Amino acid sequence: MLAPAKINLALHVTGSRPDGYHELDSLVAFAEHGDILTIEPAGLDYFEIVGPFSAALSADEGNLVTRALTLARRLSAEHGESIPPLSITLDKRLPIASGIGGGSADAAALLRLIQCALPELGPALSDESIALGADVPMCLLGQPARVRGIGESIEPWSCFPRVPLVLVNPGVAVSTPAVFRGLVRKANPPLDPFPARSLTPRLLADVLLQTRNDLQEPAEALAPVIKEVHRSLEAIGALFTRMSGSGATVFGLFASDEAAQQAATSIRATRPDWWTLATALSAAG
């Protein structure tokens, strides 16, 4: 099961709450690449993490995949069902703490597999998944959407186009709490309604020019190399560039798959120490 990278095309911080959470208004979409999660029946539960970014993760009870299984088992018991022991393998292909929803996408992939096996649990899993993290419900839906509140209000964007893009991470982990602490203003204007018409990649870039990522400036203060990534993508013809989430991954939109592939090849040649991926944002539906 693919756990696709989640891209924040826009992220407006519109307020803060007494419980410490921030109110957000965000446009999200999902890439055609990400981590891979597989499950098989087993005699005992077993969880293994492999892949290029596995070393930075632990497969203990604090992992979001493990917590998602615990949540699903509780809900299944409440519905008179049971989830047998499982062997779970996570192929970790996305950088850690990179602003593209890797852990949340992994947890959502497990919940999606359980939804397929036990469809009657679908509504409960959707409702309860926010307990795992604000990004998990949107990753569970897995469609381009406008997301508000702390992640509980999700409005799918039905006319979203398929858009080639390049993701670049400079190998710097950025602390999300530290980025939020760096916000100068925590009550900013929300997004305008997104267009109801179909868009091309170039028209989407024009729409995004009217939006913001309010976390980008404080993230760049913590990791100035993010600005260098932006300049690299702009120099090789990206239609639009922006940091995703709280960083440090930056995306660039391109007019074609060929242009995205050429851009990724160019960046790898000049900065082999950066993680670079040519992919595409999936079209809605």
Q: Domain holding 168: CATH number?
A: 3.30.70.890
Q: What SS3 class is residue 150?
A: coil
Q: Are residues 181 and 136 in the same domain?
A: no
**Euclidean distance between CA atoms 45 and 66, whole angstroms:** 10
Distance of CA 62 to the CA centre of its chain: 19
Q: Are residues 113 and 227 in the same domain?
A: no
Whether residues 163 and 96 share a domain: the answer is no
Token pair for 68:
């998602």
Tell whether 32 and 146 lie within a shared domain. Answer: yes
Confidence band, pLDDT 50/70/90 cuts, at residue 285: low
CA–CA separation, 282 and 157 (whole Å): 12
- Binding-site residue positions: 95-105
Identify whether the C-beta of residue 186 lies closer than 8 Å to the C-beta of residue 15.
yes
253 has pLDDT over 90? yes
Cβ neighbors of 40 (< 8 A, separation 6 or more) are: 86, 87
**Same-domain check for residues 218 and 163:** yes
pLDDT(60) > 90: no
Residue 127's pLDDT is what? 94
Give the pTM: 0.95
Residues 192, 112: one domain? Answer: no
Cis bond upstream, residue 77 (ω within 30): no
pLDDT of residue 20: 77
Half-sphere exposure of 50 (CA within 13 A, CB side): 7
Domain edge (last residue) among 96, 122, 155: 155
Q: What is the mean pLDDT of residues 187-202?
A: 90
Q: Is residue 163 located within the same domain as residue 135?
A: no
In this structure, are 183 and 197 located in the same domain?
Answer: yes
* Candidate from 57-71, 103-117, 221-235 with smallest mean pLDDT: 57-71
Report CA 237 to chain centroid distance, whole Å.
Answer: 24
| 165 and 137 inside one domain | no
Q: 285: Cβ–Cβ under 8 A, 6 or more apart, which residues?
A: 143, 158
What is the domain range of residue 210?
157-281
| Phi, psi values for residue 85, rounded to 5° | -55, 145
Last residue of a domain, one of 111, 131, 155: 155
Return the CATH number at 90. Answer: 3.30.230.10
Question: What is the rounded distance in angstroms from the CA atom of residue 158 to the CA atom of residue 141?
Answer: 13
Count of structural domains within the chain: 2
Q: Are 9 and 90 part of one and the same domain?
A: yes
Q: How much is the pLDDT for 57?
A: 86
Q: Which of 136, 155, 174 is the last residue of a domain?
A: 155
Mark whether 10 and 94 lie in a shared domain: yes
Predicted confidence at residue 178, as pLDDT, reads: 94
Catalytic residue positions?
Answer: 6, 135
Same-domain check for residues 106 and 162? no
